[in-house]
Homo-oligomer: A and B are copies of this chain.
Amino acid sequence: MEGSQNGGVEGRGISMMTKKATKHRLLGVVFVLLIGLGMSGTGALADPLPSWNDGPAKQAVMEFVRMVTDKSSSQYVPPQQRIATFDNDGTLWCEQPMYFQGLFAFDRVKALAPKHPEWKERQPFKALLENDLKALSASGEKGAMEILMTTHAGMTTGEFEKIVKDWLATAKHPRFKRPFTDLVYQPMLELLAYLRENGFKTYIVSGGGVEFMRPWTEKIYGIPPEQVVGSSIKLKFEMRDGKPVLMRLPEIDFIDDGPGKPVGIQKFIGRRPLAAFGNSDGDHQMLQWAAAGEGRRLMLLVRHTDADREWAYDRQSPIGRLDKALDEAQRRGWTVVDMKKDWKKIFPFE
C-alpha cells in the first residue's frame, strides 16, 4: 500500500546513506540493493491486481498504465503529470446504509446528548435520539446542517482529529459488525498501489469532509493528508492561552462534490488528472474534466452490482446515485467495473 511514496523514501535513503559512504559501507549498500532487486524481481512477475478477474475493466486499466508509462509509446506521460484522483465513498470504501460520516455525526450527537438535555425536545436532535428516521428526514437540509455543525464545528482541528480517531477505533458498521476502515475495497487498494508503483501520485477527491478523512487515509490507503481533497468548513486562527489554534467554525467553506470536484482539483492540485475514479453522479464532472485533457486518459466508474457481498444500487439510489455518469460512460466508452463480475474479492477480510 505504499508504492511511490515508498520509492521516494528509499531514494532519499540511498542518497543519505551515501553521504558518509566508505568503501565498506558502499559494498554493504550494494549487497542490500542486490537482495532488494532480486526480491522485487521475483515479486514483479506476480499479477499486480490479483483481486480483479480478467475482463475488460482490468484490461483497460493495465493497458492504460502500460501506454502512459512506456517511454517508447506516443502516449507516454512524464511521472510528475501522472495524477490519479479517487472518489472515496462508494469508490474506495462502502457508503451504505448511509455515508459513514453521517453515522459518525449521529454517534456524536448521542455521545454529546447528556450535556444537552434540551435536545430531548428540540428537532432534529429529538428525532435522532429517538431513532425516528421519518421525523429526522422531515427536518431536511436545515436539520442536516444543524447536526453537521454541532458535531463538526466548535473545536480545534487537533481536537476534531482526536474525536475522529477515537470513533474509528471503537465504532462498528451495522451490517458487517466491523470497524469502518475494514470496509475498504481490496481491488481498489491493489489499484492504488499499482498506480503508485507506476509513478502516479494518488489523490482522494471526495464530497466527504477533508478533516474526517485525513486522520486515517495514510494508514488505510497509503494516501498522505496533503493528498486528500474534500469538503470543508471554515477555520479561524486564534491564540488560546498563548498558544495558536485553528478553530473549526460552523460555516461551509467548500463543497467538493459534482461540479465542485474539478474546482477542488484545480484549487488543491492545480493539474488535471490523467485518471479519475468514481462511482456516482457526484463524480461525473470530475471524470468529464479528466477526459477533456489531451492524450490518453482513464475514466473509471465502480458500479455496485453485488447485493450478496456488498450492495446493488445505481440509477434510483438516494445515496451514490449513478445515472447520468453511467449514460455518459456507456456513450463514451469509459470503463465501468461490475463489482460482482470483475472483483474476485470485495473486502480484505474475506
Hey, which bits of chain A sit against chain B, CB under 8 A?
A: 4-12, 14-16, 18-21, 26, 29-30, 33-34, 37-38, 40-41, 44-45, 69, 79-80, 83, 157, 197-199, 201, 210-211, 214, 218, 224-226, 228, 232, 235-238, 243-244, 246, 253, 259-260, 262-263, 266-271, 285, 288-289, 292
Determine if A37 and B12 form an interchain contact, defined as CB atoms under 8 angstroms apart. Answer: no
A-B interface, 3 closest residue pairs, ranked by CB to CB distance from nearest: A7-B11, A8-B8, A225-B270
Given the known A-B contacts A11-B10, A16-B69, A44-B18, are A246 and B263 also in contact in the complex, defined by CB atoms under 8 Å? Answer: yes
What are the residues of chain B within 8 A of A12 when measuring CB–CB? Answer: 4, 7, 79, 197-199
Given the known A-B contacts A80-B5, A237-B289, are A270 and B16 also in contact in the complex, defined by CB atoms under 8 Å? Answer: no
Quickly give the copy total for this chain. Answer: 2
Main SS at interface, chain A: helix
CA distance A238 to B201 in the complex (A): 26
What are the residues of chain B within 8 A of A83 when measuring CB–CB? Answer: 226
Given the known A-B contacts A6-B11, A16-B69, A237-B289, are A37 and B41 also in contact in the complex, defined by CB atoms under 8 Å? Answer: no
CA distance A243 to B292 in the complex (A): 7
Determine if B40 and A15 form an interchain contact, defined as CB atoms under 8 angstroms apart. Answer: yes
Given the known A-B contacts A7-B8, A10-B11, A11-B10, are A292 and B244 also in contact in the complex, defined by CB atoms under 8 Å? Answer: yes
What are the residues of chain B within 8 A of A244 when measuring CB–CB? Answer: 262, 285, 288-289, 292
